[in-house]
Structure 1
C-alpha cells in the first residue's frame, strides 16, 4: 500500500493560534470555540485539555517562594524574610530571573511543573508571632512592595509581550495569623486598609509584572476574602491587565463548611465568581465537585454564561501570555533559554545568603583572625534547614561546614548540645531494634521536603518499630519550645509515627503537612507521658512494638549527658565560641501554627548561657524564620548575628561573614521587640490604635527596623531636599570612612507635620526609599531619590480620599529607622484638612479616628462595612473635628440588631434605643433629637448586639417631630458625659 498524498493546501490555523493578531481577538476566538462545559472546566485549578482544539491540560499554582518548590531538586535561595533583609531590589530581581528560568527548564522535562507561580507573599510582617513570618518580606509596605516588584519582574521576564512565568501575589488581604485562620476576621479600618495593607499589593500590580492574586483564608471586616469587594473596587482598578484571581486551597468550600457565610456551596461559588475569583483550588485534582457546583448555580439562576466567560477570559489571557498557543510555545520555550543549577545560580544563592546576614551587635569580637580556634555549638550548627516551600537541596552548606572550610577543620570543633537520654518504662528500656537483613536501612530516608502531597508521611514503614527491652538506646532529646520535642536515634534518624501508629526511627528530618516527628513530655508524678503531637495519642508499649495509642505508658528519663555540659567543655577549649541557635521551620512557627512567645526556646537559652559562662568570647548566631526577644544575650554577649534560613549556601555565607571576607550589610526588615509585653494581640490588625510596627510603636525595641551593623563605618552628608512639581527630589552623599570595602544600606524616611494633622495619629516616621550601595574604603557616592509628593500623604477618613497635609515635612536620611544622620525640612503646600462636613454628608461609622471595644463587620454580604461592639458589650468610637455648621437638632442612625447608641458631644448627650430589627443585615433608621453647632468632637457609644452603619444629622426646625417613640433623649453637662 502507498500512503495518501498530503493535501495540497493545509487549512490555516485558527485565529487564536496566530501570534500576529491582538490578544483580545485571539482570546475571543478561542472562547467562541469552547462549549459551556469546557469553559466551566477551566475554572478549576486542574483544567483538562481540549483534544479537538489541540489544547493541553493546565494547572494553576506552582510554589516558588525562594526557588521552585515541591518538584524535586532546585536551587534553594534564602527564605523570603531573608530576601527582605538584603534590602537589595536588583539582587532579588536576579533571583526571580533564576527561579523562573529553572521553572521553565524543569517543565521541559516534567509537565507537572507549572508556570503559574504562586509567589511572592506580600503579606506585611505586622506581628512577629505569625507562623508564616518566613514567607513575607517586611513589616513596611514600601520595602515589601519594592522587593515584590523586583521578584515579580524577574519571574515575568523582560519580553514586552510574553511571560517567562506568571506570578501570583499571596495572600489578599490583611492576613497575619494561623490561629483560626479560616474563621477569624481582621478588623481593618479605612486608614489601615489604604495606608498599609493595600499599599504592599498595589505597587507590585501597577508595575505590570503580576499575573494574578490569591485571596487569603481569613475574613476582613467580617467578610471572607474570597468574596471581597476590594477585588473589584481596588485590585482591578490598578491595571488594565486581566488579573487571574486564584483561590487558596480549600477556601471555596470554607465559605460554607467552616465560615458558614453561605448556606449552600452553589450560592458560595456564585458569590466568589461574582466577586472576582477566577480559578478554584479545591478538592485536589478532582474538578467535578467545583464544576458541579457551577453548573447547579447556573441552573438555579445564580450565575450566567457571561459570569463564566469573564473568568475564563482571565484564565486564557495568562496562558496566551505564557506563549502556550503560539507556534513553538513562545520565545521562552526556546531550549537556548534553559538553565538549571548553573554556576551562576550557585553564585547567586551564595551572594543572596551573604547579603541576608544581619550583624545585630559587635563589640569587636568579629571578624575573627585566621589563627582563631573556634567551638561551633548549638542545635543548628550542623544543619541546613529547608521549609515547607523549599525545593529539594541539590547541595547544602551548614555553619559547621562553612567554618571548617574557611578556617580549617583542625581549628574548628563541634558540639551539638543535645540532651542525651535513656527512656525506661515498666517493660524495660526504649530501644531501636537492630536492622533486619534486607530492610533497606542503609538507603536514604524519605526526604519530607520532596513530597508533592502534604498528606504523605515522613516515616519509613520498612523499618521495625521501636521496642522495649533490657538494653537501652541513647536518644538525642531537643526542646524546640512551645511544647514541641524531638527524639533522635543513635544513627541520626528522628523518631516518627507512620499511618499504622508504630514509632520508628525513620525520618531524616521533621517535616510534612502534619509533622509526625514531634512529641510532648508531659510531667506525670514519678515520670513522663510522651504525647505524640501529630495524632494526639500517647507512646505506649505493645507486644508487637512501640506505638501511639490512647492508653499512655509512664516513662522515666535518665540523662547520661546534658547539652549545656557538653557545650561548656567545648567552649572552654576554644578561643571563640559560635553558638548557632534558632528554629526548625517545620516545628512551631510555621503554616497552620503561630508562635506563642518571642523567647528563645529554653534548651537553646541554656546553651548560650553555658557557652558564655565557660568562655566570654561567645557570639550568638540566630538562624531563624522570625525575630526573637534576646535582651539578656544582647546584654551579656559581645556579638550577635541573625539570618533567615539561607538556602543551599547558608553555611558558607555565614562563615565568610564571620571571617571578614564580606562585611555584613543585611538590615532588619521588621522590628525586634525586647519582650512579649511589647506586642499587641495577634488578631488586632489596627496598627494605628494598638501602636504596632516601627511606624507607631511607642516603646524602645531591642533592635529597630532597618538596623544592621558592619565592619566599616559610613558618613552621611550634603542632604538636599526640594519639591520639583509633583515630585520631591532628595540627594545626599554616603562615604565609606572605614578600613574595608563594604555595603551600606542608605535609608530615607519622612515625617509629616504634626501641627497641620491636628489630632490625627500619624507615623513616627515612614520609609520613603532605600538603596544598597557598595563602596571601597574611602570611596563616596551620591544617592538620589525622586519621590511622588502624594506618597507623603495619608487616607483622610473625614473626606474618604487620599490627602497630603500642607506644612513642614522632615526628610530623614540614615542607617536605620533609629539611626538618623541627616535631617532637612521641606515645605509642602496645599489645602489644609477641613473638618468633617457631617451636617451635609453625615458620618460613616467606620470613618472613626479612635475606637475602643469595637470591630468592623460586613454591612452586607457583598459590600460596605459597619461597626459593632465586641461580643455585644459596650464599644466607643471617637470622631474628631465634626462640623455641625450653624446647628443640627436631630440625628438618625442606620443600624441592624438591637441595643442602644449614645452620642456625646460637649455638654449634649443623646441615647437612641434600638429595638430588634431582625437579622444582622436587616437595617432600619432610628431618629432622636440632638443639638450641636460648630466644630467639635463626637463620641458614639454602642451598647448591645447591634451594627451601626451611618449617622445623618438634620438641621430643619421640625426634625424632632420624626423622633421615634423608642428614642430616649437626655442632656448632661460636659463633666458628667
Structure 2
C-alpha cells in the first residue's frame, strides 16, 4: 500500500477485485474519487488517497538504456548504439531486463516508478541534434521496429498485467535543442504522415505502449502540448487507452516562454482538451497545477468531465500495472529476482558487441593475440566508460584499456591519454593543486563490491586551488568549440562548487549544469579562464582560485559580468607537452595503435545543446594523424553519441570503427570485436555525411525539399545508412517478390531472398529490404527501408529469408491532392542489400489500377497546406485548436505549387481565405495566382483582420478563366496567413 492504511471503505470494493474486468474496476474507483482527488491526480506526483487505501503514484521513470537516476543499475549501450544493432529481438530482451530491474528496484525503493519514459522515437534527421544519442535511427521503419521490441520487453508477456508502462518520447517532429521550447518545426502533410508520425504509429500499433510524451517544441506554430494530432491520429491507432504525460515544465512554457496563451488557466484547459493527462511541472510541488485546473473549471474553460477522462486513463494504466491487485509474490523475491543478474551482465556485453560498426578495414583487423604485439591504446576515450544524462550508476565497468590489459597483460598494453600537459601562471605565481585525500568512492551492491564513482563536484571540504612558487601539471582536454576540461595529477577534474572556489574534486564531468568545463579567452599576452557552468571568470582570491559569477536579471548580470571580467586573473598558459607528441612517441614503439576519440556525453552535443559542426575536435584530429605518421598500423575507434565527418581518416587509415558509448561492458565488447571473437555486424542507423555543408538548416524539417537523410540525400555520403563491414563475406542469391492477399487484411508483398556466408568465419548479416518508385509522379525516396533481418550464419551456411510487408506500407505515400494514403499504379523496385547503397539484388513488381485523378479544385478547393512544393514559406497554426495555414517564412515573399489542378469547364471566380494581423490598410499583403505558362489569374489584396486567427474571405473574378488540368502557382507577399482557396465556374 506504499504506506497507506486501508480503511473500511477500501476493502472488499469492486476496484480491488481482480476477477472483474479492468474497465469495471477503473469505473468503480473513479466514481469513488471526489473532484479534488481527481484534480490532484493530474500532477506527475499524484498523492495518496488514504481513505481508499490508494498509494501515491508518480508518472515518469527514465529507462532509456537501463534504469536511470535511481542509483546503481545495469547500464546498456546508448539508444543510438542499440539502434546500430538493427536487432529487435535483442532490444526486446534488453527491455525485459530493464523492466525486471525497475520492478526489483521498486521493491526496494518506492521512489522508483513503474510508468517508464522510454524509448525515444524521435528520428535522427539531423546528426547535429544534441540528443542524437537518445534516438534509434533516422529511418521511421527501423525506429518503430526497435521501439516496438523494446516496449514489448518493458511491458512483459502477461496478457493482462504490465511489468512496466512505457511512454514514447517526444511527440512530435522534435530534433533540435536550439530554442527547443520556442522553435516551430514546419512539417508539411507528406513529411508528417510518411516520416514523423510513422515512427510512432508502428510502435503504438504493436500494442505494448502505454502512452506518449509531447515534445517541448511547436509544430506548424502550435505547441505539441496542445497538438490536435493526439486526438486525430494517436488515439485512432489502437483501442487501448493511452496516457499522455507532459514533458518537464512544458505546461508552464505554454504561457511563460511560448506566450501561446495569456493565462495558465487557459493553457492547462487547452492541454487537457487536446489530450494531456499528466502534468510534469514544478517538480514535486503539485499546488500550482491543482490551482490552475481549479481556475480553469471556475472560469468555465473546461468542465469536470474533461478531468474525469484524463483521470480514467491514468487509473487504467495503474490498474494494468497491478496496483489494485493483491500481491502475487513476496517483495523479497521481487528484489532478489531481477537486479544485476549474471544474465543481465551477459546481455550488456552482447549488446556492446553487437553495437560496434566496422566502417573500414584494409586487413588490419581482426587482431590476434599472437601477432598484435604491443598495443598502444591512446586518446581521451581510451580509458573511459562514459555515462550520459539518462544512464544509471555503474555497478561495474570496463574501459578499452582495462579490457586489453585483461586480455594481453599489462606488459603488452601502453596507454597515453593524449591530452596536453599544461601549467597556468598567475601574476602571483603558478597555479597549484594542494595535496588532499582522494574523494571517497561509493561501493554499491554488486557481489564483487565494484566501484561506482561518487558525485564529488559539489564538495567544499577539499582545499581550493592556490598560487605559489611551484606549479602543478594539469591535463587539458579540448572537446571542441573551445570547451576544455582540466584535470589534476590525482585524476580529478577541476570543478566549481556553490561557494565559487575551484577545486580538483570531480571524478567525471556531469550534472544538469556541468561545472567541470572552462574556456580560455585570449586577453593581451595571456588568457582569461571562464567557467562555463556559471559564466563567470576565474580570479585569484586570498583563499584561492575563485569564480566571480554573474547572476540576477539580465541587466544586473551583464553589469556584474563586466565587473567580474575586469577582476579576472590573466593567466599565462605554458604547454609542457602536446598530447600528439606523447602519442607519436608511444605509437612509434608499439606494434599496433588504437586511437579512441569521440565525445563526452555531458560536455558537448547533449540535451539543451546542439552541435555546430560534424568535425572531430582539433586536438583529437591531431592524435590520429600523429599516431598514423609514427605507425601505419593505426586504427581509429570513434566512441561517440553521433556521427563525425572524418573523410581524411577514412581515406588514409587502414581501419575505422564506430560505437556509441557502450554501457558497463563497453571495453570488453569492443576488445572482443577487435580481436575477432565476434565478427562485427553493427550497421549505421543514420547517414554519415562527408561535410556539414551538405546538411540543411538545423530547423528545416522538410526532408523532401531539403533532400535530407538517406531517403532524399542526393550527394555521396561518407558512409551510407545501413553501412557496416564484417570479417566474413556474404553472397546474395536471387530475390523474388509476389503480391498476395493476407486473410482479413490488405495485399502484402511476399519477399524471399537467399544469403550465404561465403567468407572465412562465422558472422551476422543484416539483410535490408528497400523499395523505390523510379517513375513516381511526386518526389519519392531514392530507397526506403521496409524490412530487415539480422541473421547469424556459420561459415558456409545458407539461409532463405522470408519477409512480408503490407503493400500500402511498402509502396504508398500521402497524397496531398486527395488527403489520403495512396498507392499509385506503376512499376516498383524491391531491393535486397547490405546497406542503402550496397544493393545486391533487385526485383520489380507492377501495380495496376486507374491513373491518379487530378485535384478536384472546383469541388473541394485547395487547403493552402496541401501544396506539392513550396519555397520561402512556413506552416503555421490555422487556429489554436486545429488546422494548418501557410505564411511567408520572412513575411516578405513565398511561393506554393499545386500540381494537376482540374478546373473543369472553367473557373471564373476565386475566393481567398486569409488572415492579416496588421491593422493598417495598404497593399502589403497580396495573394497572386498564375499558371505554369505565365498566365496571371488574379492578384488578391488581403485587408487587415487585426488578429492572426481572424480570417476573412476575399473574392475575385478571373479575367482569363482556366479550364482543364493545370499546375497552379501561388505567390504570397507580405505578413499574411493563407488558409485556403475556393474556385467556382
- Structure-1-length-normalised TM-score: 0.94
- What is the rounded CA distance, in whole Å, between the counterparts of 1:270 and 1:830 in structure 2? 47
Q: Distance in 1 between matches of 2:332 and 2:928?
A: 66
Cα deviation digits, residues 674-732 of structure 1 (max 9, x gap): 00111000000000000000000000000000000010000000211010121110000
Alignment partner of 1:908 is 2:935: yes
SS at match of 1:816: coil
**TM-superposed deviation, 1:806:** 1.1
SS in 1 for 2:644: coil
Contact 1:844 1:949 in 2 (8 A): yes
Question: Which one of the candidate residues 859, 868, 872 is aligned to 1:853?
Answer: 872
Matches within 5 A, 1:582-621: 582-621=598-637
| Alignment of 1:922 onto 2:950 | yes
Residue of structure 1 aligned with 2:768, choices 747, 753, 778: 747
Q: How does 1:806-885 map to 2 (within 5 A)?
A: 806-885=825-904
| Residues 107 and 390 of structure 1: CA distance in aligned 2, closer, same or farther (over 3 Å) | same
Residue by residue over 1:915-937, the C-alpha shift from the partner in whole angstroms, topping out at 9 and shown as x without a partner, is 21111001001112222111111
Correspondence for 2:805? 787
* More moved, 189-198 vs 17-26: 17-26
CA distance in structure 1 between the aligned counterparts of 2:908 and 2:164, rounded to whole angstroms: 61
Match among 696, 703, 706 for residue 722 of structure 2: 706
Distance 1:343-1:593 versus aligned 2 partners, 3 A rule: same
Counterparts of 2:830 and 2:675, CA distance in 1:
37
Figure out how many residues of one structure are paired with residues of the other and give that number.
Answer: 932
Q: Which residue of 2 aligns with 1:935?
A: 965
The offset of 1:433, in angstroms, is: 1.5
CA contact (8 A) 1:168 1:214 kept: yes
Candidates 770, 776, 781, aligned match of 1:763: 781
1:586-622 Cα shifts (integer Å, max 9, x gaps): 0110000000000000010010010011011110000
Query: Structure 1 pair 353/820, CA: closer, same or farther in 2 (3 Å)?
Result: same
CA contact (8 A) 2:213 2:246 kept: yes
Tell me if the contact between 2:707 and 2:713 (Cα under 8 Å) persists in the aligned partners. yes
- Aligned partners of 1:334, 1:212: CA distance in 2, in Å? 29
CA contact (8 A) 2:189 2:865 kept: yes
Q: Which residue of structure 2 aligns with residue 774 of structure 1?
A: 792
Q: How big is each residue's C-alpha offset from its partner over 1:230-278, in whole Å with a ceiling of 9 and x where there is no partner?
A: 0000000011111110000000000000000000000000000000000
> Post-superposition shift, 1:198?
0.2
SS for the counterpart of 1:600 is: coil
Look up the SS of the partner of 1:839 in the other structure. Answer: helix
From the superposition, tell whether residues 307 and 442 of structure 1 become closer, same or farther in structure 2 (CA, over 3 Å). closer
C-alpha distance 804-942 of structure 1, shift in aligned 2 (>3 A): same
Query: Is structure 2 residue 633 aligned with structure 1 residue 636?
Result: no
Match of 1:174 in 2: 173
User: Structure 2: how far apart are the matches of 1:827 and 1:10?
Assistant: 66
Q: Which residue of 2 aligns with 1:416?
A: 417
Match of 1:677, SS state, is helix
Distance 2:330 2:23 in 1: 20
Superimposed CA distance per residue, residues 730-751 of structure 1 (whole angstroms, 9 cap, x where no aligned partner): 0000000001000000000011
- Tell me the CA shift for residue 636 of structure 1: 1.0
CA contact (8 A) 1:908 1:932 kept: no
Q: Cα offset for 1:832?
A: 2.5
Q: Match of 2:449?
A: none
Matches within 5 A, 1:608-687: 608-687=624-703
The CA distance in 1 between the partners of 2:806 and 2:329, in whole Å, is: 37
CA shift, 1:839, in A, is 1.6
Confirm or deny: 8 A CA contact 2:10 2:52 kept in the other structure: no
Q: Distance in 1 between matches of 2:822 and 2:332?
A: 47
Q: Distance in 1 between matches of 2:514 and 2:968?
A: 53
Q: Secondary structure at the match of 1:950?
A: strand
SS at match of 1:701: coil
User: More displaced, 541-550 or 265-274?
Assistant: 541-550
Contact 1:804 1:830 in 2 (8 A): no
Q: Secondary structure at the match of 2:890?
A: helix
SS of equivalent residue, structure 1 residue 413: strand
Q: Secondary structure at the match of 1:948?
A: strand
For the residues of structure 2 that align with 1:445 and 1:68, how far apart are their CA atoms? 18
**Is the CA contact (8 Å cut-off) linking 2:389 and 2:601 kept in structure 1?**
yes
Q: CA deviation at 1:378?
A: 0.3
Q: Is 1:574 matched with 2:569?
A: no
Structure 1 residue 98: Cα displacement: 0.2
Which structure 2 residues correspond to residues 477-516 of structure 1 after superposition, within 5 A? 477-516=476-515
The answer to whether residue 960 in structure 2 is matched with residue 944 in structure 1 is: no
Give the conservation status (yes or no) of the 8 Å contact 1:104–1:338: no
Q: Give the whole-Å Cα distance in 2 for the aligned partners of 1:511 and 1:336.
A: 29
- The SS at the match of 1:673 is coil
CA change 1:396–1:614 in 2 (3 A) is same
Once the two structures are TM-superposed, the CA of residue 830 in structure 1 deviates from its matched residue by 2.7
Aligned to 2:251: 252
How many angstroms apart in 2 are the aligned matches of 1:842 and 1:552? Answer: 66
For 1:925 and 1:661, the matched residues in 2 are separated by 71
- 3-state SS, counterpart of residue 310 of structure 1: helix
Contact 1:419/1:478, CA 8 A, preserved across alignment: yes
Matches within 5 A, 1:259-270: 259-270=258-269
Q: Which ranges of structure 1 fall in alignment gaps of 5 or more residues?
A: 1-8, 448-455, 956-977
- For 1:574 and 1:647, the matched residues in 2 are separated by 28
Determine if contact 2:105/2:335 at 8 Å carries over to the other structure.
Answer: no
State the match for 1:43 in structure 2. Answer: 42
Q: Say if 2:614 and 2:691, in contact at 8 Å, map to a contact too.
A: yes
CA distance in 2: counterparts of 1:363 and 1:609, whole angstroms:
17
Aligned to 1:971: none
Q: Distance in 2 between matches of 1:11 and 1:123?
A: 42
SS of equivalent residue, structure 1 residue 666:
coil
Query: Which residue does the alignment assign to 1:727?
Result: 748
Check if 1:112 corresponds to 2:111. Answer: yes
| 1:308 counterpart residue number | 307
Match of 1:325 in 2: 324
Q: Distance in 2 between matches of 1:230 and 1:944?
A: 29
Structure 1 segment 54-93 matched on structure 2, within 5 A: 54-93=53-92
Tell me which residue corresponds to 1:287: 286
Tell me, yes or no, if structure 1 residue 443 matches structure 2 residue 440.
yes
How big is the shift at 1:336? 8.7
Name the SS of the counterpart of 2:954 in structure 1: strand
- 2:96–2:154 Cα contact (<8 Å) kept: yes
Mean Cα deviation higher: 576-585 or 835-844: 835-844
Distance 1:395 1:807 in 2: 56
Kindly provide the CA deviation profile for residues 155-212 of structure 1, in whole angstroms up to 9, marking residues without a partner as x. Answer: 0000000000000000000000000000000000000000000000011111110001
Q: CA RMSD in A?
A: 1.5
Report the Cα distance in structure 1 between the residues aligned to 2:358 and 2:178, rounded to whole angstroms: 32
Of stretches 842-851 and 222-231 in structure 1, the one that deviates more from structure 2 is 842-851
Name the structure 1 match of 2:817.
Answer: 798
User: Shift of residue 87 of structure 1?
Assistant: 0.3
